[in-house]
Structure 1
């Protein structure tokens, strides 16, 4: 069938298989440009099908020749409905990996469940023996824990309601939005979904099963952002969850001590992802940030960030840590000369001058690319197999 983008607010309900494959191909080509080096050889990526998790998998496979096992929760095509983009991404990546002689397999299921953890451990034992790196890159709106209790996350403040400018993605209009304060129950639920509890459960299960190698490294991804977004992010419910994720890294360093292993938080740059598009205020900030960073030739997408992390920084991670022992891949974003320009543009931006102060075209290009659309070498008028 002919597949066209169907956008509703901040989500697209269709994905193009050939476009997703093109996206994977371009990311692989980017990583291949610098050749290979020694590093991790057997890697588990939890949350491996989109965004930073997907870029990590590509970077690790093509930088180190690493065997990668991905865990994701994606839906295949059904009747006239396309598969999710992560499904097509994974299918395409594994095709390329196998063509290039690399191990690449995936487990499709709820990563929060005990069942998927056990399936993953069995797969590692069968195919890899042990893993020397575990990437934790889950972004989910809800979680059913191992006791069967379901928690849903919320994007709210933790004190008083917060009002600021926001970009309405339905019409590219700037309006004022008020983000309400969360209840105590909502705060707890958000930490349950987006905090570090499940990361710890994964590491404990993998360690108990004997599938973590000596010197294993585990990395989880986080975000801080500028003071402009603090009320909705860093000081909001999602920020509470990210603080819990950080505290989990401290505990995991104790857990992994007898293996001489290490747990890190990597604080990454703000990017267009399915998760970030849903957060009030943030899409406008990102579109302004893109314009400023492109003008200063500092812009990076997911693959550029992960390539810099794994090709340039992995050999000397300890030298790259901040005072809280976090990896700071948001270093370009947080440069004073970047943030000063962003703050200045924020004060002046309106619906009428949006393209002057924000890279709204670049924002939407990246948005459509996530779903396999807007690639100039793909003929979107052709029938494709779903």
Structure 2
């Protein structure tokens, strides 16, 4: 079948297997072109199929030669419906890893559940023995608690008072004003339950109790802080409340792992186009302006460049020392004063008529469609392709 992008709001309902495979290959080739990472041997990535999670798996495997287990919740193709992009990404990753003689396994299911945690532990015991790096990179709108059975739903809202600012329809290029009403106390509670640190700690607790965490094991989860313009909807909003909880848990886990020489971190990453960020009011316009400024200054990094820098310069530094701060800031180039001053200057002037001049709207759109395997270089999108792609080592 010929697969074309079909969008509904901030999501794309189709994905292209060849395009996803090409982009995984490009990330792999980037990592292989860099200096080798003196890093982990066996890595578990929870939330491994897209974005920073996928890039972490690629950096570990092709940068450090690590064996990997990826846990994710993606769907295979069915009838005329394509698989999700994460499914195709994972299939392509495993094929490339296998060609290099690396072990890689994929567990598809609800990472919040005890059943998937137990399945992962059994696989580690059987195939790898132990894990020395756990990457926690889940971005989910809902979570069912494995003990209480309560299902939580996250929201993207300010706290205490309504927030009004510019926003962008990146499909049409229209800039408008949006007002987001504040969250209720229960919405804040549920967002923390989904996006905070409780499940991360459950993973580490169960891995440690099962004896499959190696001595000196590291764990890292991902976060975002962003500029003042987005603070009401992000850092000071419901998501920010959840990320504060993530940082709290990082300190708890660090104390917990310290007895065996381990450590826990939260990495604050740069703003990038993801399906999640596309859904947050104000953020797509900010990212479009940010991209323009950072590209003009030669500072722009994509997902794999960020993760390679995280692994090589922070988690596994050449001098062998560990980060002293539990909060790793690889958003440092984004938050440079000269970058932010120029972004805010453009922000004040941005209107529908000048959005293409003052921002990188085309770059944003391209990155969005590339999330789903479209607009990849060298891919013939008029060719007939089979949407049914197997993940070689799905468990």
Give the match for residue 183 of structure 2: 182
Distance 2:321 2:272 in 1: 25
The answer to whether the 8 Å contact 1:8/1:170 transfers is: no
**Do the aligned residues in 1 keep the contact of 2:315 with 2:322 (CA within 8 Å)?**
no
Matched, 1:309 2:332: no
What is the CA deviation profile of residues 202-255 of structure 1, one whole-angstrom value per residue up to 9, with x for unaligned ones?
A: 000000000001000000000000111000000000000000000000111121
CA RMSD in angstroms, aligned pairs only: 1.1
**Could you report, residue by residue, the CA deviation over 1:300-333 in whole angstroms, capped at 9, with x for unpaired residues?**
01100001111233334867555xx310000000
1:69 positional shift: 0.5
Other structure's SS at 2:310 match = helix
Counterpart Cα distance in 2 of 1:291 and 1:321:
33
Report how far residue 130 of structure 1 moved. Answer: 0.5
1:75 touches 1:84 (CA, 8 Å); kept in 2? yes
SS state of the match for residue 280, structure 1?
A: coil
Matched length: 384
- The TM-score, its normalising length taken from structure 2, stands at 0.95
Q: What per-residue deviation string (whole Å, max 9, x for no partner) do you get for residues 343-372 of structure 1?
A: 000000000000111100100111111100
Aligned position for 2:216: 215
Are 1:288 and 2:289 an aligned pair? yes
Aligned 1:18-33 pairs, distance under 5 A? 18-33=18-33
Does the 8 Å contact 1:9/1:169 carry over to 2? Answer: no
| Whole-Å separation in 2 of the counterparts to 1:38 and 1:170 | 42
Q: Give the aligned partner of residue 62 of structure 2.
A: 62
TM-aligned CA distance change 1:142 to 1:331, over 3 Å: same
Q: Which residue of 1 aligns with 2:378?
A: 377
- Residue in structure 1 matched with residue 152 of structure 2 by the alignment: 151
Give yes or no for contact 1:220–1:265 (8 Å, CA) kept in 2: yes
2:12 is matched with which residue?
12
CA distance in 2 between partners of 1:299 and 1:26 (Å): 17
* 1:167–1:175 CA contact under 8 A, matched in 2: yes
- The structural deviation recorded for 1:8 is 1.5
Contact 2:40 2:60 (C-alpha < 8 Å) held by counterparts: yes
Alignment of structure 1 residues 116-135 onto 2, 5 Å:
116-135=116-135
Q: Supply the distance in 1 between the matched residues of 2:343 and 2:173 (Cα, whole angstroms).
A: 18
Q: Distance in 1 between matches of 2:377 and 2:120?
A: 38
- 8 A Cα contact 2:265 2:328, kept in partner: yes
CA distance in 2, matches of 1:274, 1:241: 19
SS at match of 1:353: helix
Aligned-partner SS, 1:259: coil
Q: Which residue of 1 aligns with 2:393?
A: none
Q: CA separation in 1, counterparts of 2:283 and 2:303?
A: 17
Per-residue deviation at 1:258? 1.8
Cα distance between partner residues in 2 of 1:254 and 1:332: 30
Aligned pair 1:329/2:330, yes or no? yes
Deviation at 1:159, TM superposition (A): 1.0
Partner of 1:43: 43
Once the two structures are TM-superposed, the CA of residue 36 in structure 1 deviates from its matched residue by 2.3
Q: Does the 8 Å CA contact 1:132/1:216 hold for their aligned counterparts?
A: yes
Change (3 A) 1:321 1:282: farther
TM-score relative to the length of structure 1: 0.98
Structure 2's unaligned 5+ residue stretches are 388-395
**Deviation at 1:375?**
1.8
Q: Distance in 2 between matches of 1:320 and 1:248?
A: 17
Q: Note if contact 1:321-1:328 (Cα within 8 Å) is conserved in structure 2.
A: no
Aligned pairs (5 A) from 1:64-143 = 64-143=64-143
Give secondary structure in 2 for the equivalent of 1:105: strand
Stretches of structure 1 that go unaligned for 5 or more consecutive residues are: none
Shift in alpha-carbon separation, 1:139–1:35, aligned structure 2, 3 A: same
Cα 1:356–1:319 change in 2 (3 A) is farther
* TM superposition shift of 1:35: 4.3
> Could you say if the C-alpha distance between residues 21 and 99 of structure 1 is closer, same or farther in structure 2, counting changes exceeding 3 Å?
same
Higher relative contact order (CA closer than 8 Å, sequence separation 6+): 2
Measured in 1, the distance between the counterparts of 2:153 and 2:351 equals: 33
Q: 3-state DSSP class of the match of 1:175?
A: strand
Partner of 2:361: 360
